[in-house]
Structure 1
Amino acid sequence: MKGVIFDCYQTLIDIHTEEHSIETYEILSTWLAYQGVKIQPEKLWDTYMFKVKEKMDISREIYPEIKVEEIFSEICRENSIWKIDEKNLGIETARVFRAASIRKLRPFPQSVKLIEQCINVPKCIISNGQRVFSELELRFLGLYDYFDFVIFSSDVGYKKPDLRLFMTALKRMGLELEPKCVMSIGDSYENEIIPAKKLGMRSMHIEEAWKHFELID
């Protein structure tokens, strides 16, 4: 192996969020009140979901992606009761939203050991995640610096299983002419296993990788 591509969530990070819980929007609504944005939790929930769907629908991508901070910037601007810095407030709102929705966030110990097995091999992450908070989670859990680079779908406007994400990773590794020497590891056959095989890469489900390296019983 000359390179390894990892998925992020449910591969490296064990996570559970409640983005569809009214409690999440109650917390966010209360926090926004102190930032000069007046919006009730129910309206905040409905508006957020509507704007996400709207952005997805107008995208020309087959697998469209958004930037949540841009959604929240719009919501803050439309509901502000005093002058705000909508761009920065959108970023902070996205992070508070994530924090309010998190119920579980921890690294898989087996995956940490797996990364260490590949310590001398070029490694990257391709994630259907939002850089605005996902990068911070990787850093907080001590995972970010293991990798040469991280590609987030929010950076490019499309998400896995789009092959372009994997092609970009191969190119950045300098292995675009040697895909058979690169392994893709993740928890989703649709998003990590099948796209990798289409490009001539090797692939393993994360639990298969744990067993292969004898990291679980």
Structure 2
Amino acid sequence: MLAYKNYIFDFYGTLVHIETDEESLDFWRTIAELYSSLGATYEASELRKAYIRLVADEEANLAQPSQLDYVEIDILQVFKRLYTECPNRDKLSWKLDLETASRLIAAAFRIESRKELRAYDATVQLLDYLKSQGDKIFLLSNAQKAFTLQELKQTGLYDYFDKIYISSDYGMKKPRPQFWEMVLTENKLNLSESVMIGNDFTTDIAIADSLGMDSIFINSFNYNEKELKEKNTSKVPVVEDIGGVMEVVTCMR
């Protein structure tokens, strides 16, 4: 069996475990207090509704010109609009650096909503091994750069990747084939020497399958045997965790 030379990983649920909660009213009270400190007045429930509305509006604005599915907004635009379109916007008197402020709000938003973040036990071991073999490692993640870049660094994984592709940077996300084709083209990757590793059949596995590339599915959602049979229509290898990928990779050498 031929070993792969290029490994393309999803991030959340594949290399790291994360838990977030953006539903708690206490969470929205904290974010409302942050906006209030900048002069924008919101009630917690009002802010939550405005956030959801503006996310949907940004998605519609991005999809409308191209009529394409699987668009990815830049969440920083939402945080900016929450300030400029706040209920008391006519009374705002501060001259705010919106770019800097939106990044600070994004950081606070993520820290306050995040309950847990950690790399899986075998993640570093696997990435160390691939690097020692001279393999190329890429990240292809449906995510927000404003959140994910810091979390890559926080988990100690940032420096392992030859290149990082985060969907909010490109306005599109998996499983749109163009997102994956960009990775192939920019890095001159051979399909037969490449593999996609992820935990979502409808994005990670689907995008690889659409291009005729191998993939490995990580069952981090703990699907049972019946569910896996229904979802795994491409019959790709299934492992229970990132340690299972390590076993597959080393057996191919």
TM-score, normalization by structure 2: 0.79
Give the distance between the partners of 1:22 and 1:202, measured in 2 at CA.
Answer: 43
Query: Structure 1 counterpart of 2:121, which letter?
Result: P
Q: 2:122 aligns with which of 84, 105, 110?
A: 110
Give the distance between the partners of 1:7 and 1:32, measured in 2 at CA.
Answer: 33
Deviating more after overlay: 17-26 vs 76-85: 76-85
| 8 A Cα contact 1:127 1:151, kept in partner | yes
Q: Secondary structure at the match of 2:122?
A: helix
Give the distance between the partners of 2:26 and 2:15, measured in 1 at CA.
Answer: 27
Give the distance between the partners of 1:88 and 1:55, measured in 2 at CA.
Answer: 20
Q: 1:128 aligns with which of 142, 145, 159?
A: 142
Matches within 5 A, 1:29-48: 29-48=32-51
1:66 aligns to 2:73 (yes or no):
yes
Q: Secondary structure at the match of 1:117?
A: helix
Query: Structure 2 counterpart of 1:72, which letter?
Result: F
Give the distance between the partners of 1:211 and 1:166, measured in 2 at CA.
Answer: 24
**4+ long deviations beyond 3 Å:** none
1:169 aligns to 2:176 (yes or no):
no
Structure 1 gap segments, 5+ residues each? none
Deviations 1:117-175 (A, max 9, x none): 21121111011111112101101111010001111110111111111121111122211
Give the distance between the partners of 1:158 and 1:212, measured in 2 at CA.
Answer: 27
Count of residue pairs the alignment pairs up: 213
Structure 2 gap segments, 5+ residues each? 220-238, 249-253
Deviating more after overlay: 183-192 vs 36-45: 36-45
| 8 A Cα contact 1:9 1:15, kept in partner | yes
Deviations 1:42-73 (A, max 9, x none): 11100000011122233132012111110110
Quick one: percent identity of the two aligned structures? 29
Q: Is the radius of gyration larger for structure 1 or structure 2? A: 2
Query: Structure 2 counterpart of 1:39, which letter?
Result: Y
1:82 aligns to 2:93 (yes or no):
yes
The residue aligned with 2:13 is: 10
